Amino acid sequence: MIGRRRGPDEAEREAGWRRPDASMSLLSDLFAGKLLDAGYAEAAARRAADGGTRARAGRLRGSGTLAVLVAIGVLIAVAGAQVRRSEPVAAKERARLIDQIHARTGETDALQRRLDQLRADTGRERAAALARSAAGRRVRQDLAAQAAAAGAVPAAGPGLVVTVDDAPGTAGDRAGASGGRVYDQDLQVLVNGLWAAGATAIGINGRRLTPVTAIRTAGEAILVDYRALSGPYEVTALGDPDRVRSAFTGSAADRRLRALEDRYGLRYGTRRTSGARLPAAGALRLRYAAPAPEAGG
């Protein structure tokens, strides 16, 4: 009987024979390309998975960036709309405040004129009463000297006029090329220099100064005795013009203003006057007072 034909592997197994490279199946598979194909396939699968993850992350980042840009745009649009709506309101409020300032300034000027008139009437009545006796006349002379020193009475006579003003085309500060604004410190230094030069009375744009007058700034305005002044600023110093000019020339105040003139274009000049007149200063406010000690006490 003819049996089934056996293959080589079956005949070898029956005969107990094994392949020489049976123990090196891993190397055989490697050379045969089985492991390489599986490794490549696994790496490709991982790359595909990672690519999908990165793509999803990129889409999320893009969506987040777009949302942020849209939010910023909405905020800018809302802010612009609010600014446009508030501009008429701000302009109206500013005009109202300016009107109030003008009205209050007019009221203050009227009250100051009334005060000056009452002070003049009081001065005449006091002088007439003191003139009735020798002791009264001596008191009147002392009061006149003290009033002149305190700026409580008008003053007139020759003197020196110093004019300072902003440089032409001044935009604001001294840091830029068009600097040259007059500040309150400049007027303070100028006034102190004129007092030191021997001035007997000083006024700025017709405002009489006293030993307690404040020269300050508020915004872009210079305040003298809490009244806003604008340039050019004319500082009138009563006294012997030649003596005051000689003592003032070369002083620290003069050097400061000359330096500002040379560096920033500040306008600065001096001239003599033969008939300057300064009004009385405002009423003084006594902050501290104590009774004078009695003689021999």
pLDDT in tens, 111-141: 878 877 887 888 888 888 888 888 888 888 8
The domain covering 156-278 belongs, at the CATH homologous superfamily level, to: Protein of unknown function DUF881 (3.30.70.1880)
269 vs 171, more confident? 269
Residue among 184, 270, 172, 267 at smallest CA distance from 224: 184
294 vs 161, more confident? 161
Strand partners, 55: none
How far apart CA 185 and CA 274 sit, in angstroms, is 28
- Whether the predicted pLDDT of 42 surpasses 50: yes
Per-residue pLDDT band at 62 (split at 50, 70, 90): low
- Whether the predicted pLDDT of 178 surpasses 50: no
- Whether the predicted pLDDT of 3 surpasses 60: no
Name the helix (H) or strand (E) containing 59.
helix 34-130
Is the Cβ–Cβ distance between 160 and 200 less than 8 Å? no
Instruction: Tell me, yes or no, if the pTM score tops 0.85.
Output: no
The 3 state secondary structure assigned to 120-148 is HHHHHHHHHHHCCCHHHHHHHHHHHHHHH
> What is the domain partition of the chain in residue ranges?
25-101, 156-278
**Residue with tokens 């024979």, as numbered in its chain:** 17
